[in-house]
Amino acid sequence: MKRSRIKPKRTEPRRREAPAWTYEEWQEANHQLLARAGSACERCGNPLTGENLSRHHRQRRRDGGDRLTNLLLLCGSGSTGCHGWVHAHPEEAREQGWIVPSWANPATTPVRLPDGYLWLLHDDGRKIPAP
């Protein structure tokens, strides 16, 4: 029986280390997200309440991290409402900027908001019209 060669251990992590927030940072981010979204779903525009509110990472958290450019407030959960729709329709969601590929930068990837326009999101909670 032929033995395979033992592979050396990795010296660097397989995945990028994306920034993650503390509880206090999440609280501040929630306030900024609600202000940016106008307390409405950033896909359909319906008013958000505590029960139907969820944060959606446009890019996987391990790639894009916890940054306001990478987050949207959506109605529903990961399987219901707009949040569920985005995960169930990844191709169309990518076209609209609700999902961002791992190789792209969420800060430079425009997202279509309920007003029908494309916007660039900033980490300070602002949004500006996409060129």
Range of the domain at 104: 23-129
17 pLDDT band (50/70/90 cuts)? low
Count of domains for the chain = 1
Does 18 fall in a domain? no
Does 103 fall in a domain? yes
Does 97 fall in a domain? yes
Q: Is the pLDDT of residue 44 over 80?
A: yes
Does 115 fall in a domain? yes
Does 10 fall in a domain? no
> At CB < 8 A and 24+ separation, what contacts does 12-18 make?
15/62, 16/62, 16/63, 18/61, 18/62, 18/63, 18/64, 18/65, 18/66
12 pLDDT band (50/70/90 cuts)? low
